[in-house]
A and B are shown apart, each in its own frame.
Chain A
Amino acid sequence: MNHLVYEYFIWSVGIGMTVVSLLLLREIRALKLGRTVQHMIWEQTGAWEGEGASAAFICLFLNMGPNNSEIVLALKKKYADRPLTVILNAPAWQANVLRKKINGQAIILSDETGKMGRHWGHLRNPIYIIIDQYGKIVKKDLVIH
């Protein structure tokens, strides 16, 4: 009986360690991705030295679609206090069209290859992440529209 309890204990420790490693790996991945996205956006928006560099912000990954402006405005309304950056998986001219539609409510960047968005899997719905000032992804959610 004692032998059995000991074996269960060893297995439970093993499983616990694997779960902790998995969670750590996820955290590292989130930090790496968050920092990469943060740096790219800072580079593009010139926020290295300005106020933008010290603030947490929201990053929305959008594909081409008819409701994009509604999605951006709804998200901006939900998080009115945070700057919003939209990474649009579309050519630059499409980004310009969206920029005009939303009337300066968010920064729109064009990612024509869609590489950035695909880091969260091949998603059909838009995903948004909230990145804190240290580059850590503190929230991740889908916009189901």
Chain B
Amino acid sequence: MENILALITVLLSFVFLISFCAKAFAFFSFIDSITQFGIVPKRYVRAVAWCVLIAEAVLAVGLLFSSSPRYFFMMAGLMLFALTGALGHAYVNKNSVHCSCFGESNEKTHLPFAILRNMILITLCLYVLLMDQVQIHFEFERMHLFLVLVECSLIIHFFLLFRRMRKGSYERFDIE
């Protein structure tokens, strides 16, 4: 049981870290995505983008280091619920969006898949909350785990950026 809770904590922390890195390095795509959903008034779009970015960083750190992670799981669940709501809204209105959940992309988001992914993450949050565990014990030093996760998310982002750069760097454009 302890191991499962620890695994869920690490997984969620990693998801938020990857998401934070991707959004921080492609902030314009993220701002653009928020406007695509059409939920937030245009004048507040930038403020909301900053709030989401900061919340993701706080969650990634808080889930791993906090002495009472219940509040962070609750916050993570609520945030994921809000994001799923936005995706659901786009799906119901048949909007095609680029959610930029994990960085800039030219591919349209497959909404049912994105909603399913978020539902699984919400279920994991609820599972931890229902377990009523006061403190989650890790076999490894928390700081070690955090540094490994940060390094992994940065390396993933580096390779994505590298691949993207190689793909279109020598392309010619037809403008007239």
Contact = CB atoms under 8 A, between A and B. Distances in A.
Interface stretch (A47-55, A73-81, A120-128): A120-128
Q: Which of A14, A116, A122, A142 has the most CB of B within 10 A?
A: A122
B106 A118 contact: yes
Interface residues of B, number: 38
Interface string A103-145: 0000001111101101111111101000000000000111011
B113 interface: no
B161 A123 contact: no
A112 B100 CA distance: 25
B3 interface: no
A109 B173 CA distance: 11
Given A25-B158, A109-B175, A115-B173, A142 B28 contact: yes
B147 A11 contact: yes
A92 B45 contact: no
A140 B32 CA distance: 13
B106 A142 contact: no
Interface residues of A, number: 43
Do most interface residues of chain B lie in helix, strand or loop, or is the interface mixed? helix
Nearest to B26: A121
Contacts, number: 101
A127 B147 contact: no
A87 B175 contact: yes
A26 B25 contact: yes
A111 B42 contact: no
B151 A127 contact: no
B157 A4 contact: no
Interface string B4-29: 00000000000000000000011011
A44 interface: yes
Interface in B149-176: 150-151, 154-155, 157-158, 161-162, 165, 168-169, 171, 173-176
A18 B147 contact: no
Given A14-B151, A111-B175, A29 B141 contact: no
Given A18-B154, A29-B161, 4 more contacts: A11-B147, A116-B173, A125-B35, A140-B28
Interface of A: 4, 7-8, 11-12, 14-15, 18-19, 21-22, 25-26, 28-29, 32-33, 36, 40, 44, 87, 92, 109-113, 115-116, 118-125, 127, 140-142, 144-145
Interface of B: 25-26, 28-29, 31-32, 35-36, 42, 45-46, 98, 100, 104-106, 108, 141, 143-144, 147-148, 150-151, 154-155, 157-158, 161-162, 165, 168-169, 171, 173-176
